[in-house]
């Protein structure tokens, strides 16, 4: 599975995974795969939100916004 292209894409995929897991009816292996993917997406979203928060704080203090360098989040499956 590929990394998301945006925060919005990651959130949309994460919402679909949550719906599937809550609905049940999947086999165990599929559920575990969904859970693993969900954790990757959650980590990605948390990282993007943290970067945005830091950027906003810097702007609020009167500093110029510097580009944020993102670390690549890779799937382990």
Span 23-39, pLDDT tens digits: 999 999 999 999 999 99
CATH code for residues 7-60: 1.10.287
Q: How far apart are CA 24 and CA 44, in angstroms?
A: 25
pLDDT at 44 over 70: yes
**Residue (of 50, 40, 44, 52) closest to 7 by Cα position:** 44
% the chain with pLDDT above 70: 79
Residues 6+ apart with CB under 8 A from 66: 58
Span 61-75, pLDDT tens digits: 886 656 656 566 555
Q: For residue 8, which phi and psi values (nearest 5 degrees)? A: -65, -40
Mean pLDDT across 40-63: 92
Predicted confidence at residue 7, as pLDDT, reads 96
Predicted confidence at residue 73, as pLDDT, reads 58
């Amino acid at each position: 599975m590929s990394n998301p292209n945006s925060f919005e894409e990651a959130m949309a995929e994460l919402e679909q995974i949550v719906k599937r897991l809550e609905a049940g009816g999947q086999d165990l292996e599929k559920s575990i795969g969904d859970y693993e993917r969900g954790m990757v997406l959650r980590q990605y979203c948390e990282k993007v939100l943290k970067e945005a928060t830091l950027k906003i704080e810097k702007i609020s203090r009167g500093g110029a916004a510097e580009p944020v360098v993102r670390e690549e989040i890779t799937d382990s499956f």
